[in-house]
Structure 1
């Protein structure tokens, strides 16, 4: 009778333990993946710049090229310039706070690619334009993810809230490469402030894993106390 009275609580506890331990193990796997990603990104950023692939941009493996330093030459289309709102809290340059990343299409022999020329504060009225053939060195970036808190783009004002070439191409009515390039060198004039690529990968997976494992241990202790109490009463 004693074992039968503990069967259902024990079965439910076992199921919960499997789930909690599984979640903890999954977070540990995510931890190893995140650490490997950080190592690869750090190594890529420090590598010398290579020429931007000359063709096949729509099928470019962005996972292999993300954060890779590249070099490309072309002519800026300042008439098609767009802004992406950003709150720059950890700047590498002297300017910070709310403002915009200035994204300008660069006409190359293979097509147009958006160059993130850098950051300007909200109140900035103007900044230098570059005419003629220009060589740009920067980090190749895939489209920026959106979430439920990302505001809707103001396409008619050429104001966007994510660094994503697809909606920008739609708003401008021109084809664009499916990636952007963050300029790493501030051009003459001091603005836009380049080199502000945000390499931010939140890594709390160990904390989450320990939480799940801790809950599993606590559940096991509670069940052991419950079973001991039940056995003593009987």
Structure 2
């Protein structure tokens, strides 16, 4: 039998070592994601289900995201914007509407409307004061699509771009996901903020670590067997 060239053995060992390191790094990344997801779940549980509080003087995403708040003001009823959305109720739009409150412009996500309910005449009147959850602005667009204000196509809730598109001034760097206080069958349907999060990062991390360990064991076994021969 012809002996395997040394360079080929070195190449195979290098590829295996690269894969082992890659698996470990992926496991480490999943562990970081686990810590982030755990913090997110704890944050939502501590902020989203309490009594509504006044708007913060200065918005800090880490400190105020998902905080339940109340706001009093006047809606600009002639400046609604529909944002493309997919929810548990199906495809449709988020209804965004500016609220003039406390000397600033605050965009409110009044809730979901299906494609067949885009006519404002069929929308329920907004409740005041507004209660809901603070969410940071979503600039530019999504991973797959971009906002196109000129064409009136919106895929994310970029509050600064929304204000510029409808001719409003300085805008708070967040929006409020409003509660649903109208009839259960009325549109828009608020209160659809996702508050439960799937957390499988630990199982993914253990899978990557197991793959690294198994590959290392296989390489070690084959290497020892070859040296013995």
CA contact (8 A) 2:41 2:196 kept: no
* Runs of at least 5 residues in structure 1 that lack an aligned partner in the other structure: 90-95
CA contact (8 A) 1:82 1:159 kept: no
The SS at the match of 1:78 is coil
Say if 2:104 is the partner of 1:114.
Answer: no
Which of 26, 34, 39 is the aligned partner of 2:37? 34
Alignment of 1:13-32 (within 5 A): 16-32=19-35
What's the CA shift for 1:11? Answer: 7.0
The SS at the match of 2:128 is strand
Say if 2:100 is the partner of 1:103.
Answer: no
CA contact (8 A) 2:142 2:156 kept: no
With structure 2 as the length reference, what TM-score do the two structures score?
Answer: 0.81
Which of 166, 172, 177 is the aligned partner of 1:177? 172
Residue 64 (structure 1) aligns with: 63
CA contact (8 A) 1:67 1:140 kept: yes
Counterpart Cα distance in 1 of 2:194 and 2:67: 14
CA contact (8 A) 1:74 1:109 kept: yes
- CA offsets per residue over residues 80-122 of structure 1, 9 Å max, x none? 1111111122xxxxxx211111111001132110111111111
Residue 195 (structure 2) aligns with: 199
Say if 2:213 is the partner of 1:217.
Answer: yes
Q: Decide whether aligned partners of structure 1 residues 86 and 218 sit closer, same or farther in structure 2, where only a CA change above 3 A counts.
A: same
* Runs of at least 5 residues in structure 2 that lack an aligned partner in the other structure: 1-5
The SS at the match of 1:25 is helix
- CA offsets per residue over residues 51-82 of structure 1, 9 Å max, x none? 112x44xxx21221111100000011011111
CA contact (8 A) 2:124 2:188 kept: no
Report the count of equivalent residues. Answer: 217
Which of 115, 132, 157 is the aligned partner of 1:163? 157
Q: Aligned Cα RMSD in Å?
A: 2.8
